[in-house]
Amino acid sequence: PWCFIGKRRMEEALDDAKTRYPHLTFDVRWRPFELDPRLPTGEGKDKMKHYEAKFGADNIRRMIPRMKATAREHGINMEYGGNVGNTFDSHRLIWKAREVGGSELQDKVVESIFKAYFEENKSLGDSAVLEECANRAGMKDTKDFLTNSQLGRDEVEREKNEFGRAFQCNGVPMFVIDERFVLHGAQEKEAFLRTFGKVSMEL
């Protein structure tokens, strides 16, 4: 959930940066990272049971109200129903979106995927769900790509491994700005703006 909240905070910072640092240009690129590669594809398994096994039932019960309240502050209607599934195919789709439509289409696909999982209780291990996400983002004719698990696989694995080694990525959300400054976690808007300011001063 912090990835969706982090995305919103980053977007808020980018909006402010347009007036504060008008000479800066931004190209947002989403990189692959798997929290649990062992999750099954297809419908996956019950989300709440998975979270309870991972974090403990008491911790989850305490966490959910706080998480929902924080999400609402950023216009996100966070839900905790449905299933959780393997996300590798979603990373293939996100990679493909950038290949065919650049950062703008890639970001739309990421937004659609986040909404499907965090707000609509849909499993990202289901290729039909991912096709629906792509269509909603304006990315058409993805069925053949999604059903052929080899397409984009090597590229995603390579990007995941290279990025992980370069920036010691072992958790998300994580933001790398100007290939130098690393922000861990769902940072507040001001943290992004301070980092943009550092980049701006060097130009």
Model confidence pLDDT, tens digit, residues 165-193: 889 888 999 999 999 999 999 999 999 99
Is the pTM of the predicted complex or chain greater than 0.85?
Answer: yes
Q: Are 144 and 115 in contact (CB under 8 A)?
A: no
Give dist(CA 19, CA 100) in Å, integer: 30
Q: Are 90 and 130 in contact (CB under 8 A)?
A: yes
pLDDT confidence of 164, banded at 50, 70, 90?
Answer: confident
Helix runs in the chain, H state only: 2-20, 47-55, 57-72, 88-114, 127-136, 143-147, 153-167, 189-201
Q: What amino acid is encoded at 146 in this protein?
A: L
Domain membership of residue 60 as a residue range: 2-201
203 pLDDT higher than 80: no
Distances in Å between the Cα of 105 and the Cα atoms of 98, 102, 140 are 6, 6, 11
The pLDDT, as a whole number, for residue 42 is 87
The pLDDT, as a whole number, for residue 170 is 87
> How many other C-beta atoms are found inside a 10 Å radius of the C-beta of residue 52?
15
What percent of the chain is modeled with pLDDT above 70? Answer: 100
Number of domains the chain is built from? 1
Digit-coded pLDDT (tens) for 57-107: 999 999 999 999 999 999 999 999 999 999 999 999 999 999 999 999 999
* Residue 24 burial (C-beta neighbours within 10 Å; 0-12, 13-18, 19+): middle
The pLDDT, as a whole number, for residue 148 is 96
The pLDDT, as a whole number, for residue 21 is 97
Mean pLDDT of 133-152: 97
> How many other C-beta atoms are found inside a 10 Å radius of the C-beta of residue 81?
10
User: Distance between alpha carbon 80 and the CA centroid of its chain, in Å?
Assistant: 17
CA dihedral (106, 119, 90, 111) in degrees, to 10, reads 0
Distances in Å between the Cα of 49 and the Cα atoms of 10, 40, 46, 54, 103 are 31, 14, 5, 9, 35
Which residues neighbour 138 within 8 Å (Cβ) at sequence distance 6 or greater? 101, 105, 108
Tokens matching residue 6 = 């982090």
Residue 114 sits in a domain whose CATH number is 3.40.30.10
The pLDDT, as a whole number, for residue 90 is 98
138 pLDDT higher than 90: yes
